[in-house]
Amino acid sequence: MPLDPPTMLTLSTALAAAAALYMAIEWRSIREPSLLFWSAGFATITVGSTLALLRSNGLLLIGIWFANGLLVTAHFLFLLGVARFTQTRLSRTWSLIFVAWLVMLLLPEGPLWSKVMLAANSLLVALSTLKASFLLRPHGKSLSVGAVQLRYVLLAHGIFYVAKALTVVIPGTLIDLAAFRGEIIQISLVEGTMAIMLIALSMTGTERYRREKQIARLAERDPLTALYNRRALEKRAPRLLTQASPECPGALLLIDIDNFKLVNDQYGHTAGDRLLIALSEMIRSLLPRHALTARLGGDEFVILLNDASGERVVELGNALREQFLGMTSQTFPTPAAVTLSIGANLFEQPPASLTALIEQGDAALYESKRGGRNRLRLTGLPTPG
């Protein structure tokens, strides 16, 4: 089958329709706004490529003007999708793209009509495409290989349209938009087909990587407080624990809520959940840099510190206890005060394991509760390596 212009347009239509359908299905399952914009962009290309076939039947207004306008619209939708993906807010001035395209309708007919139309349309497409590539620049390597690929595919696509616009100034260049004649148009049809495939693949890879990272992140988070869970703590703790030395001791704080059951019994489990969330937010606000924190389960939390000292641990623990007591006494008054008991342990050598360190913290926590609750019990014996 010869790769004549109608065949290339038909192939582009089929590829764009497939990409639009696939991304629409993906959007229904994960509800990522960028997928919806990209799906709409490919759907617009599908309609535009179909209408472009009508120009050979003499329907120039629909087959040229309207079809090319849809091409500009499609690339603007791609830009909107990238903006949502990178969480960037676009200026409203970008809507002037459509104003510029409508102004072209006022251009007088003449020998240069096809060239002016091609140049203006190409520059408008290039503008959206290059902006989308620029938005991905600081995000590519930090997100995925797919995002990097998408950035460079869009960059190459935009540069091609800039070059396409510049070629119209070459003397003797023959361009016939109505009959699809001219080397520029032939090359553009081939490039457009390839670009659809590459852009669709890159977009798909980009969103798939983000979804996988989100799933992995959710698997490491406590669903209620969004703190790390025990599994994530065990994964990240070894690097912090191995830094312990007499010159740079580490510390573990094991935190438990006193009389937590009274809140559940008197105010309901929803109130208990709110209390756990409030405590997690307090811990985050007071957490030193490079520290780790996690919810071990129930009403028990843990904090791991590096470069710690007894004074630093006591200061952090007392700040938590005071803030928590102030909040619970006002929000959840109960017959017995809802407070925090904290068991803390300083270590000057890497512990045998995180489990062993937590057991030592648990012993200190038990001493804190036995001493009357709402206390911090600090032990400072080095743990064996």
Give the pLDDT confidence of 298-322 residue by residue, as tens digits.
899 999 998 888 889 999 999 999 9
Give the DSSP letter string of 106-130.
GSPPSTTHHHHHHHHHHHHHHHHHH
Q: What is the rounded distance in angstroms from the CA atom of residue 122 to the CA atom of residue 191?
A: 13
Those residues with Cβ within 8 angstroms of residue 265's Cβ, 6 or more apart along the chain or in another chain: none
Please report the pLDDT score of residue 150 as a whole number. Answer: 81
Percent helix, strand and coil across the chain, each to the nearest 5? 65, 10, 25
* Nearest-angstrom CA–CA distance, 376 and 368: 6
Mean local confidence (pLDDT), 282-291: 88
Measured distance CA(180)–CA(154) in Å, rounded? 25
* Side chain identity, residue 78: F
CB burial of 47-74 (b: ≥16 within 10 Å; e: otherwise) equals bbbbbbbbbeeeeeeebbbbbbbbbbbb
Report which of 70, 57, 60, 52 is spatially closest to residue 6, judged by C-alpha positions.
Answer: 52
Quote the CA–CA distance of 237 and 42 in Å, as a whole number: 46
Q: What is the pLDDT of residues 132-191, one digit of tens each?
A: 889 888 654 445 566 778 888 888 888 888 888 877 666 555 455 544 455 555 566 566
Confidence of residue 280 (pLDDT cuts 50, 70, 90): very high
| Band of pLDDT at residue 60, cut at 50, 70 and 90 | low
Alpha-carbon gap, residue 133 to 69, rounded angstroms: 21
70-116 pLDDT per residue, tens? 888 888 998 998 888 888 888 888 888 888 877 776 766 655 666 77
Residue 178's pLDDT is 47
Q: Is the pTM of this model over 0.85?
A: no
Bridge-based pairing state of the strands 300-305 and 339-347: unpaired
The whole-number pLDDT of residue 342 equals: 94
- Count of Cβ atoms closer than 10 Å to residue 91 Cβ: 7
Q: How far apart are CA 202 and CA 281, in angstroms?
A: 38
* 140 in Cβ contact with 132 (< 8 Å): no
Q: Helices (H) and strands (E) in the chain — how many of each? A: 14, 5
If pLDDT is split at 50, 70 and 90, which confidence band does 240 have?
confident
With bands split at pLDDT 50, 70 and 90, how would you rate the model's confidence at 384?
very low
How many Å is the maximal CA-CA distance in the chain?
A: 96
Both structure tokens of 234? 């065990």
C-alpha distances out from residue 103 to 99, 120, 121, 128, 165, Å: 6, 10, 11, 18, 17
Task: Give the tens place of pLDDT for each residue, 180-209.
Answer: 455 555 566 566 666 776 777 676 666 666
> What's the one-letter identity of residue 140?
G
Calculate the alpha carbon distances from 105 to 109, 122, 216, 356 in Å: 10, 15, 51, 76
